[in-house]
Each structure stands twice: as structure tokens, then as C-alpha cells.
Amino acid sequence: MAATNEDTIATRICRILAERIVTGELEPGTKLRQDHIAEEFGTSHVPVREAFRRLEAQGLAVSEPRRGVRVATFSLEAVREVAEMRAALEVLALRHAAPHLTPSILDQAEEATVEADRARDVRSWEEANRRFHRLLLTPCGMPRLLAAIDDLHAVSARFLFATWRSDWEVRPDHDHRAILAFLRQGRTENAAAVLERHVQRIGQKPAKNASGGAFAIVG
């Protein structure tokens, strides 16, 4: 059994809606109508409302009382804000995780990097990239910090998918490799510095891919 037994209905609805918002299937500003969603999932609207509250907390939806819930919009400024928050928090997490990083973990992170470089589409690149970050940060043992970073990752991924809808080009990720190299040498501060720059690249204008007003998102 894998898909059927999700803890609570609200949890499942929240997860699925979050995925739709992040991947761009639900566009910014779209109205989320509780009765329609309830009907789609074959439930009443009560769990739907609970799911809304969670999406709101994650910054994926905004709710105006008596006027409904909408998919959150995002500006270039919001992208930068999230990038800076991620940079600050991931550096903090890495500093605490570094002492607990084993060669095995670093090897797995390297595998994730290789997989990201081989990715043929945004979706699989994002998954590998996220795995890389998670592998390095989880050993910090700070659950609240990790949860906050996860939420920011979701928002970042949203920007990522919005920018690179279909055209995705493979680029080897030098930052990831540099971070791993420093960590293998025990040079945590150097690794943290690279990570900080790396994450802040989110929201920067692309170097060459200047078609339209699109902006590049990595990290």
C-alpha cells in the first residue's frame, strides 16, 4: 500500500495542491474554490479548508477573508528574498551538519550531483538538486531549521519551473563539486561560502539565455 493510506485527507489535499502550485500546473492568481476541490477529491470542504491554511503558512497561497483563497503570486523581489533567506539558513545548517558528515553521505551527494548534470528536464534536475542539499544539511539535527529550508526550497522550485517550462539545457554544476571538495578537506567555512553564493544565484538574470524577460533560477 503506498498511495491510499495518507494520514489525513487534509494532508493529502495539501500535498497534491502544493505539488500543482509548485510545478506551475496551477498558475499564480488562480482562485482555489473549496467546493470544486472538495468535489474533485470526493470529500467535504472541511479538510479542504484545513489544507488551505497549511498552504497559506507555506507561502503557496494567500487567503482574503470572505473573498477566497488564491495561488500566491510572486515577483522578482520575492524570488530574491527567498534566495537570501535560503542562503542564510542553509549556511547555518551546513555549519552544524559538517561535523556529522560521513564519507558515505558525501559520496551520495556526489551521486546526486552527477545525476543532476545528466538530467534531461527541469523536473528531474530539481529532484536531484534537492537531494544534494538535503543530504548535506539533514545531519545538522535541527528539525525546525530543516522544515523552514524545505518550505523555501518548494518556493524556489516554483520559480524554477515557471522559468524553464520546457527548454532545459544541461550544465555541469561546479558549485556543488566545489562544496563537496571543501567538505572532504574539512574546510567547512569555505564550503559554506560557496554554498551562500550558490544559493543566492536564484533570481539572477541569466548570462546568455536572454530570450524575453525571463530570469534564471538555479540553486
The verdict on 60 binding DNA (CB under 7 A) reads no
Site for DNA in 28-47 (CB under 7 A): 31-36, 38, 42-47
All three cell numbers of 136: 548535506
31: amino acid identity, one letter: K
Binding test (CB under 8 A) with a second copy, winner from 82, 101, 112, 216: 82
20 part of the interface to DNA, by CB under 7 A: no
DSSP structural state of residue 65 = T
Residue 166 CB contacts under 8 Å (≥ 6 apart), including other chains: none
When CB distances are held under 5 to 8 angstroms depending on the partner's kind, the choice from DNA, a second copy, none that residue 31 binds is DNA
Site for a second copy contains 7 (CB under 8 A):
yes
Q: Between 68 and 206, name the residue whose CB sits nearer to a second copy.
A: 68
Binds a second copy by CB under 8 A, chosen from 2, 4, 5, 65: 65
Query: Least CB distance from residue 211 to DNA, whole Å?
Result: 33
* 8 near a second copy (CB under 8 A): yes
Instruction: In whole angstroms, give the CA distance from residue 118 to residue 163.
Output: 20
Q: Is the dihedral of CA 54, 55, 57, 58 positive or negative?
A: positive
89 binds a second copy (CB under 8 A): yes
The C-alpha atoms of residue 165 and residue 192 are separated, in whole angstroms, by 30
The CB density around residue 120, as the number of other CB atoms within 10 Å, is 9
